[in-house]
Amino acid sequence: MRKKKIVVLTGAGMSAESGLKTFRDANGLWEGHDVMEVASPQGFAKNPELVFEFYNQRRRQLLQVTPNDGHKALVALEKEFHVNIITQNVDNLHEQAGSKNVLHLHGELLKVRSITDESKVLDWTRDLNLGDIDEKGNQLRPHIVWFGEMVPMLEPAITITQEADILIIIGTSMQVYPAASLVNYVSNDTPIYFIDPKPSVNAADFNNLSIIPQNASKGVPNLVTKLIGT
């Protein structure tokens, strides 16, 4: 019997309970900085040291936290279903928890890449600074998709989403595009579960939508128990 395919779309709320800040505050600032200063090619060209330090702080923080019960519950889900996780998050907490199929839409904090060759990606756990170069002498930069840049993993994410028997959305406002558009690629009869303590959607927004107004560490285990039991 074919295992049902579950696609999970996760946002900042998935990792917040592990102690990771969600970057953007109510004023739209990222840790006190305008987003274009620290997350755009223009900002990097203007002040690379500021950009490096911003992501160095995020990387140091990531190395001090661990997956929460929400991450762990998704691993348990893999025992009964074929699970693909598409995450907007740049942390590796899904992988730390043990999830096998994780696609990062916006890049990864623990990787860097050459400024001249996007395919040259390296694992990186320490601070990144000016003067850190690849084997050809090119400066390295955070392996993060900045505002104004293409999202190279979007097409694979669309393909994965189109095959979903069940879609689970966790901890995202569904306001960040193009990630928010993925929900439009599931078939009309696909059950959709939306887990967030402050849901930004209404039950009438999508067919077969179930809203679970809980945080990830509580809502995800509850849903996983339900799905495994059915």
Beta carbons within 8 Å of 217's beta carbon, 6+ residues apart: 17, 68, 69, 70
Which residue among the candidates 71, 94, 104, 106 is catalytic per the annotation? 106
- Please state the three-class secondary structure of the chain as a single string: CCCCEEEEEECHHHHHCCCCCCCECCCCCECCECHHHHCCHHHHHHCHHHHHHHHHHHHHHHCCCCCCHHHHHHHHHCCCCEEEEEECCCCCHHHHHCCCCEEECCEEEEEEEECCCCCCEEECCCCCCCCCECCCCCEEEEEECCCCCCCCCHHHHHHHHHCCCEEEEECCCCCCCCHHHHHHHCCCCCCEEEECCCCCCCCCCCCCEEEECCCHHHHHHHHHHHHHHC
Residue 106 appears among annotated catalytic residues: yes
Please identify every residue annotated as catalytic: 106
